Structure 1
Amino acid sequence: MSSSLPPQKLRLFPSPRLTTPVSTPLSILDATVARFSSTGAVWLFSGPSPSHANLQSSFVATLNDFPQWAGQLQWSRVRDGGFHTERFGRPMVVYGCDSDPGVEWVVSKTERTLDSIVPSVHERVAGNATWMATDFPQNIFLSDSNLALHNLVEYASLPGMSVQVTEFSCGGYAIAVKMAHSLADAQSLMVFIHQWAAACHGVAKSPMDPPIFNPGQLDSHAAGDIDGDVADTSSVESARLLPLHRFDWWNDAKDPAFPSFLAPTSENSKPPPPLGDSKSLLSFSPSTPAPWSTWDFSRPVSQALLHFTEEQLSILRASTRELPDCRPDISRLDALLAHIWSAINRARGYSDSADDVFLNVTLSARARVQPPLSDSFIGSPIFLTHIRSSGSEASAASLGSTASAIRETLAIFTPEKIGAMLHDAAFERSPQRLWQAFLGDRHTLVTSWLRLNVYEVDFGGGIPRYVHAVMPKMDGCVQVMDSSREIGGVDVSLYLDSIAMAKLIQER
């Protein structure tokens, strides 16, 4: 028996369509995430499914406030002596043209039932509050079409956004969205989703403010003159002192442990001659070889959804704050991340190790500039910092030191430091060359979707049974989001080497 039927695909546009072309360079940070995997999520509902006509018409109505997402994501023209947005590797979006690719809209049906794919929220938190989600069929909900710049080269006629509606045989349905990361981070995606759900109900009120698409507003917070010919030395020096990894994709291709499937995008991120020739590479910014030998792609990876109740989170923070080596101002998230990272490092066998391990944390620049950007600022104004520790220290059951290190690291990024970081990134020869994070058995990469109300999305058939953040199934990925309002608390989606995962679950 086949599991699904062929999907129906079309392209959607704002209505009425813009008739005057608009070209908007994306932000400094949008350029740095062009190589990231797509931003995406899947909402699964028990039903009943809203009519396709209503879903589609409300989607188009919402798209009217996000017209750039129906446009063409592409590279900006490179111009010597031009603005910072005209250097190599800077994305832009062009919309309002007859050639706009639109947003891909897919309708699909599957013979599977919702119950066969995901248990109810109460079943997921029964027992030790752990649901093994390794077999969750993420790909059946996502369009197989490529997005613009998926390989850092192809973009013509490719959409920057894809939406798929999937009907289950039981009457339930799923709505999945994936987007080119340069266009939207998770917060931007949720601005759209909440507005779309409100439009589906015929109401204008969304939990989030109306979108603000103005990439230059972020760039205006960069220190110094970012359109000049030469970077400001003091800003660059200040930025290079920040806890920001500078792993170099280009040098890594020479590493015997470097996986061959990543080589094409590494090559595609290199400027053409003369900027890309061997002599000019000497003038590229300092970088660090990535530790590819610590990331074994051949090992199977498991996924688990770990649930923590409000009471557990409060107790965890309170008990951690009482420790003599802990700051009094750590947050619940600081304590939770320290707890998760500690458990991961023990499961990986680092309890007695002097080797360095790293917790890479994704941060938004929205609230870290002055004046702050709106929560509904659209784009990917994100970067990644890290906490470094020895394996033994990071494995400790006593969390005070680690939670404090997390809080201290996040506090480093003042508006002045963000300004220096933006200045440095604005002059980077190829923003996609450097990666501020890593995965594998010495690295953990955390993304928080807290306070985005992902479980409050209702298209007319009630709140979702499950919300799945689309993440690469790779060793060390961690994603945190608020749980369903039925149970409260927080869900932690964890991807880990299967052997280490078994140890972690056993300890839990």
Structure 2
Amino acid sequence: MTQMKTQIVSRTCIKPSSPTPHNLKTFKLSLLDQLSPAIHGNMTFFFPADVAATTDPDIEFSRKSRLLQESVSDTLTRFYPLAGRLLDASTIDCNDSGGFFIEAQCDSPLSDFLSKPNFETLDQFLPTTDPQTMELSKGSMWLIKFTKFNCGGTTISVSLTHKIADIAALLTLLKSWTEACRGLREPTLPDFTGSSLLPPREIPGMSGSLNIAGDKFIARRFVVSASKIAELKEKVISMTGREQYYPSRVELILAKLWKCAAAVVKSKTGSFKPTALFQAVNLRGRMDPPLPDTVFGNFVWPFAVFVEEESDLELHKLVQSMRETKNDFLNNKANKFRGEGGFSALMEALKERAEIFRNRKELVVYKCSSWCKFPLYETDFGWGKPAWMTSINKLVSNTISLQDTTDGAVEVLMTLDEEEMSIFERHEELLEFASVNPSIDV
């Protein structure tokens, strides 16, 4: 297969369709936003060509691009902080500087890429990997790259600052933007009450992000079929008793991946190492009263599960530990991250985490986010739903992301040290339940 190449055709700054009112020019972030890193996350959607279309592909691409740019402008009026620029760790200057839109063309068909998705090649579709784009965009919080394949298929890659948005906030933005692009008169509105629920404070130099260092790490994709998940579930239930509880798909898959990863570390170092798994939780629905899904910003916090002894790496023990630790977090901690006591609760949580890392130098840490049940495959700009979507982490090692597929399976995106990944992706126990980077049908 020849090397896939993309070429940028245009770069455009997109301003809001209406100016931001003077009384909204200064936007205060929440405390959780304040603790979040000022980096861009990305999500890329792949759309097949319309085989029934009679329009010239270039004309059709131009039509879609115009709709996307007009709807971005319209959406920036509702999501006005995204058109601004970060002033400091807790403030956005809503100056209507705008978002950034890039058009590009790829010299290969979409099917070539989806036959064996390559995460190095995926870089070509991201708006943030082009130095000239990042220089011209001048601190833009929202960038979009729209790429046409030579078959007429397209990608839409969205890059959004993590400073003001978690995955649930991104979904609110996508819902509102796609509704505008499809011509709905009243697209979804965001709720910007985050800073009133958890006001920012003076905390210089502190971060809520959890970074696992890695000089050279790589990403790999695995898919766990619905039938394999069912097998795992029956296995765990038979060990714990049906009356205990039914383990979730997320618990089962994370337990299996974690067990395999720990085995790889042992084979590499010669001995078992204590290990921890941090799993992010969306706090919106866990608070009392629950927050609306449309509350914009960062409302996630991780709970940690620890394994001190190798004997505790049995699948059913890991699943039980995850469930017990999560229930404890939800029942006793999640609702504290708001109001008057929110600052104290967060500072205590950060202190606990810092002590763990300070006192446990050999602890091997993994970080997980689950996007299962999020309607990512419902993303429709007016020309159908995506054949595939993905989000690639370029910054941190030892991460696990889970998301649904369209056929009931679960897709895993995992980053590990290069040496560990070379062992992990050939691990016999892993290959018994997961496929390595299978092709995607267009």
| Other structure's SS at 1:6 match | strand
Partner of 1:66: 79
Amino acid at match of 1:424: S
**Partner residue in 2 for 1:211:** 190
Residue in structure 1 matched with residue 90 of structure 2 by the alignment: 91
Deviation, structure 1 residue 304: 2.4
The one-letter amino acid of 1:447's match is S
CA contact (8 A) 1:344 1:504 kept: yes
- Structure 1 equivalent of residue 316 of structure 2: 400
Q: Which residue of 2 is the match for residue 183 of structure 1?
A: 164
Partner of 1:324: 240
Deviation at 1:167, TM superposition (A): 1.5
Secondary structure of 1:401's match?
helix
Residue 49 of structure 2 corresponds to 47
Partner secondary structure for residue 413 of structure 1: helix
CA contact (8 A) 1:132 1:303 kept: no
Give the structure 2 partner of residue 112 of structure 1.
108
Give 3-state SS (helix, strand or coil) of 1:323's partner.
Answer: helix
Residues 197 and 495 of structure 1: CA distance in aligned 2, closer, same or farther (over 3 Å): same
Residue 450 of structure 1 aligns to a residue in which SS? coil
SS of corresponding position for 2:49: coil
Task: Tell me the equivalent position of 1:411.
Answer: 327
User: Which residue is 2:223 aligned to?
Assistant: 307
Q: Does the residue aligned with 1:60 lie in a helix, a strand or coil?
A: helix
**RMSD across aligned positions (CA):** 3.9
Q: Distance in 2 between matches of 1:212 and 1:348?
A: 44
Match of 2:293 in 1: 375
TM-score, length-scaled by structure 1: 0.69
How much does 1:144 deviate?
4.1
Separation (CA, whole Å) in 2 of partners of 1:461 and 1:435:
51
Classify 1:440/1:185 alpha carbon distance in 2 versus 1 (closer, same or farther; 3 Å).
farther
The residue identity in structure 1 corresponding to 2:10 is Q
Instruction: Measure, in 2, the Cα distance between the counterparts of 1:439 and 1:39.
Output: 29
Contact 1:187 1:449 in 2 (8 A): no
Is contact 2:288–2:335 with CA below 8 Å preserved after alignment?
Answer: no
Deviations 1:88-144 (A, max 9, x none): xx422222x3xx32111111222233223222xxxxxxxxxxx67444422443234
Letter of the 1:101 counterpart: S
In structure 2, relative to structure 1, the CA distance for the partners of 1:504 and 1:440 (3 Å cut) is farther
Are the counterparts in 1 of residues 397 and 417 from structure 2 also a CA contact under 8 Å? yes
Relative distance call for 1:41 and 1:386 in structure 2 (3 A) is same
Secondary structure of 1:165 counterpart: strand
Which of 98, 105, 109 lines up with 1:102 in the alignment? Answer: 98
Q: Contact (CA 8 Å) 1:296, 1:440: kept in 2 or not?
A: no
> Take 2:34 and 2:289, find their aligned partners in 1: how far apart are those partners?
22
Say whether 1:505 aligns with 2:421: no
Q: Secondary structure at the match of 1:338?
A: helix
- Aligned-pair CA distance for 1:66: 1.0
> Secondary structure, in 3 states, of the residue corresponding to 1:51?
helix
Q: Residue 438 of structure 2 corresponds to which residue in structure 1?
A: none
Q: Which residue of 2 aligns with 1:25?
A: 28
Residue aligning to 1:141: 126
What amino acid sits opposite 2:15 in the alignment?
F
Whether the aligned pair in 2 keeps the contact of 1:188 and 1:376 (CA below 8 Å) is yes
The corresponding residue for 1:249 is: none
Q: Distance in 2 between matches of 1:373 and 1:362?
A: 17
Q: 1:109 to 1:435 in 2, by over 3 A?
A: farther
5+ residue gaps, structure 2, are 51-60, 432-442
Identity %, equivalent residues: 20
Distance 1:313 1:354 in 2: 27
Q: Distance in 1 between matches of 2:11 and 2:124?
A: 16
Identify, as 1 or 2, the structure richer in helix: 2
- Quote how far apart the aligned CAs of 1:417 are: 2.1
Within-5 A mapping of 1:180-329: 180-203=161-184, 210-219=189-198, 296-297=214-215, 299=216, 301-324=217-240, 327-329=244-246
Amino acid at match of 2:11: K
Aligned length, in residue pairs: 402
CA gap of 1:393–1:197, structure 2 versus 1, over 3 A, is farther
Shift of 1:441: 8.9
| 1:441–1:476 CA contact under 8 A, matched in 2 | no
Return the alpha-carbon distance in structure 2 between the equivalents of residues 215 and 406 of structure 1.
29
Q: 1:470 to 1:304 in 2, by over 3 A?
A: closer
How far apart are 1:502 and its partner, in Å?
A: 3.5
User: Residues of 1 paired with 2:36 and 2:377: CA distance?
Assistant: 26
Q: Deviations over 1:395-423 (max 9, x none)?
A: x4x31110111111111224652355532
Q: Which residue of the partner structure matches residue 457 of structure 1?
A: 379
Structure 1 distance, partners of 2:367, 2:67, is 38
Aligned-partner Cα distance in 1 for 2:15–2:186: 22
| Offset from partner CA, 1:132-177 (integer Å, 9 cap, x none) | 7444422443234789xx9xxx9x9521111111112221111111
TM-score (norm 2): 0.79
Contact kept, 8 Å, 2:274 with 2:362, in 1: the verdict is: no
Superposed displacement of residue 201, structure 1: 2.1
